[in-house]
Amino acid sequence: MKVQQITGPVAFHGEGPVWSEGWGGLRWVDMLAGDVLSLSPDGQVARRHVGEVAAALRPRMQGGAVIAVERGFALESPDGTVEQLGEVWSDHGVRMNEGGCDPDGRFYAGSMAYDQSPGAAAVYRLDPDHSVHLVFDGVTVSNGIEWSPGGTRAYYNDTATYAVRIFDYDRDAGLTAGRVFADVAPNRPDGLTVDGDGGVWVALSNGGAVRRYTPEGVLDELVELPTKKVTACTFGGPDLDQLYITTSREGIAPADKLAGSLFRADVGRRGLPVREFTG
């Protein structure tokens, strides 16, 4: 499948694309710059600084966004004001990295150590009352998390495991019965999204591609990119039929002039409407 380059290398570490009609289309993060990027209909990119790190974001049902920042969470109001919530931990060697909302409107975000120390990170959940809960720990590089169309299963990447995991989900029990969904070794799974048919699209960090796996965990489609560090993907456009893909320049040779650009592919599938934070 061919991809179209949508922007130049506007991000150092582009991540976490999200399409929401409520905020006018696509947003993503330049994570280590602490900036949220927005794509206008004419292709222009706006940039807004929200903290030392902008790791992940989702729209709020009341307007604005919930954002995972360096060591916790922040809330953007409909007027654009950003309120930093209290720090979840004090260790400056660990930062947030990726996140997403569950079917019940709660925001999950996982962390990683800056030096990627094994087992130093965890996944947290921000509830609508703004309380924070530990989901599980022992994580190395927490990455993409998204739910199946019916909301009964969740897919999750700890990049250091070289595998996509699947969990059972319900509101009270949370994520249970974790097991391997797809082994992607020697590739490193980064962000992921799920389409309306239940297919799981996985960005391959340093693998130069996005893979689609069927709900049974069988590889069936491949999108190749002209740059190596592919970080995340999401469905967008008015019909949610375009796959937007972010990339990074972090650790990439200067000769790769496309690293950090945003790409788009017509993959013949439709995504799911973004799940919003209800807090």
List active site positions: 190
Residue 166 CA from chain centroid, whole number: 16
CB 212, CB 201: distance < 8 Å: yes
CB 135, CB 176: distance < 8 Å: no
CB atoms within 10 A of CB 25: 17
Compute the 3-state secondary structure of the chain and give helix, strand, coil in percent, each to the nearest 5: 5, 55, 40
Phi, psi (deg, nearest 5) at residue 33: -85, -15
CA distances from 130 to 64, 112, 126 (A): 15, 22, 6
Element (H, E) at 55: strand 54-59
Tokens (6 digits) for 125: 């959940």
CB 233, CB 224: distance < 8 Å: no
